[in-house]
Chains A and B, each alone.
Chain A
């Protein structure tokens, strides 16, 4: 009697197995997508990078070519269209820009988190780029900015002095920093950031949102006890806010790396996308794969570097 009842119990799945099955059921749409749509597409791209293409009767036929494409993109015949040089420049650009975006987002999130008149309005304005600076609107803006820049450059040549329509004269800043002798590299960096200010502001919307959510989750009682103990705002920031928000800094760094590296208007992406007639499909696929490895390496680098600084508050 007892043995049959045990058998009956065993007939169904155990609870853990049931839960595991339910879990699979929830992620099933994505898994199907990966197996039948995304996986094949990604694999196809990888195959392209290892083959030469030929069009026979309107169909593309791939012939295995080993690492030929990879070798050819690293030995460019035309120095103006050199993949390794662009890759290096673009990566350097982004490495300089990414910390600026994250720090700006943190700074702005802290200010937007304070109580003040008109906070809702400022928040609305600051998050506007999240909605608007994407896709078609972004690409049109980039085009018109290029047109304007071209116009400004010719204006500079015409008048000699240059009509300044910007917020701050870059020339002034350059001479100011030059005068206090902080080193040419730093001057160039700061001037570059001021030039890209719109880019930085419009790219930090999501990061600001993530930081705001992090700041909201810090318990006010910690700040209160700090105040009672006599800590200054400066100390509170370094000892409380920064450690408490460090997981968000990691998330934001990774998000910014992904966002900046995969955006269609960074130097590398526009280099590959803009030379579709110069490179073959296989070479383009090879370039994209190398680039993806670089992005992966960057993410790994950020994760490793940040790991030492991230502080997790254990719950319970």
Chain B
């Protein structure tokens, strides 16, 4: 078969090239009936099935929780009800929001999580920058200490931590300090211990944040700072006006992690607050709404453990809801931040 293209001059600047193409059927056969194409199709299907399957595993608990949250007590007694309620109601949501003080807890936990996340992000960036860019005696020791704080299970030192802040309450210095800021009742049951831990980079998984940011700063070329120094910028100014702006994606990632982990935190709240998760000013914490069944539903849950566990599940949805909304808007940023960090051992 002659396949040399025929060139035909149409006008001065235009030519037309005509190929003798193989018949359509031949072309389709060559494209779709090759082993290469077959392999590709099999792979794409396999990949899709795998991704759907794993997504199902991840989402399944939340899906059942959402379905269960619309059920009534009678739905749990009825064996024919699988996921869809026969008489869907918003009762669970209604009573958790009104009787467990959801809105107050939302505001409070938001304030606490937002401020601690802000402090933690800033302090971790500071420490990480010091570790990444400055050679000083003890640099490695400080870094090892960072890893140690990550390695020690927080539950292992919970009791001693409680004791420490309890004892701190009773010193003369603290009393003086508390008087000044009009906190007459001491550190316990207040946000002060959490702020103290955040300011010193010891909050929940702050070791990980310092590690992540250190790796990120190590990837920032030294020339950037050197040129700033040559222009007469001080170390601090370089950090604030050059390093921080370029690391915003990474800082956003750290902030999101810090916020989310503080939001769902159950450890520090139990360590520093009494069992009902209230500060002494009567500020509830978000974890509190999942700890009790609303009084209006209490009667119906008697002898019906599935129902009370569904109510707890509904509370979980309500706790997670703000995070999920924020996550939908910010998830690109998380992936970006980590992708750009170039974490290399």
Contact = CB atoms under 8 A, between A and B. Distances in A.
Interface string A46-82: 0010000000000010000000000000000000000
A24 B136 contact: yes
Interface string A134-158: 1111111101100100000000000
A19 B290 CA distance: 50
B139 interface: yes
Interface stretch (B7-15, B175-183, B261-269, B293-301): B261-269
A269 B155 contact: yes
Contact of A126 (B55, B160, B163, B257): B55
Given A23-B135, A144-B309, A269 B153 contact: yes
Interface string B122-146: 0100110111011111110010011
B190 interface: no
B335 A209 contact: yes
Interface residue tally on B, bucketed by range: 35 or more
Contact of B127 (A27, A140, A269, A296): A27
Interface in B46-99: 47, 50-51, 53-61
B270 to A, nearest CB: 10
B130 A27 contact: yes
Nearest to B44: A116
Nearest to A112: B51
Nearest to B56: A167
Interface of A: 16, 19-27, 29-34, 36-38, 40-42, 44-45, 48, 60, 108, 111, 114, 116, 120, 122-132, 134-141, 143-144, 147, 167, 197-198, 201-202, 209-210, 212-214, 216-217, 247-248, 250-251, 255, 258, 261-262, 264, 269, 272-273, 281, 284-285, 288, 291-292, 295-296, 299, 310, 312
Interface of B: 44, 47, 50-51, 53-61, 123, 126-127, 129-131, 133-139, 142, 145-146, 149-157, 159-161, 163-164, 196-197, 199-202, 208, 210, 235, 239, 256-257, 260-261, 263-267, 286-287, 290, 305, 309, 312-313, 315-316, 319-320, 323-324, 327-328, 331-332, 334-335, 338-345
